[in-house]
Amino acid sequence: MNGTWLDFEKPLLELERRIEDARGLAQDGDQAAQEEVQRLERKVDRLRQEIYSKLTRWQRVKLARHRTATVASATIPPSSAVSRSWTGCRS
């Protein structure tokens, strides 16, 4: 797993690492490893739901300010009407 993890995401990181390890075994055709990957993926989904549904206000701020968070400039195309109105207001 690449990237920086916030403190409340550490349990997810550990499970993601276990999934990566199990996927390595599953690629060799190990049926038990494939079942383990599926089980761990369901567990990660449940844990993610639980963690993010119970964030404190400060944890939400940390998540929003996290360096990997999506920023508006990454989602709004530069040719949109919004960007023209912002850039054209002082021309």
Q: Where are the domains of the chain?
A: 7-90
| For the chain, percent of residues with pLDDT exceeding 90 | 34
- The band of 15, judged by pLDDT with boundaries at 50, 70 and 90, is very high
What does the pLDDT read at residue 1?
A: 47
- Whether 48 and 8 have beta carbons less than 8 Å apart is answered as no
pTM of the model: 0.63
Contact residues for 85 (Cβ-Cβ < 8 A; gap 6+) = none
Q: How do residues 23-49 score in pLDDT, each as one tens digit?
A: 888 887 778 888 888 999 999 999 999
Contact residues for 8 (Cβ-Cβ < 8 A; gap 6+) = 51, 55, 59
What does the pLDDT read at residue 39?
A: 93
pLDDT at 64 exceeding the cut of 70: yes
Cα gap 70→59, rounded to integer Å? 16
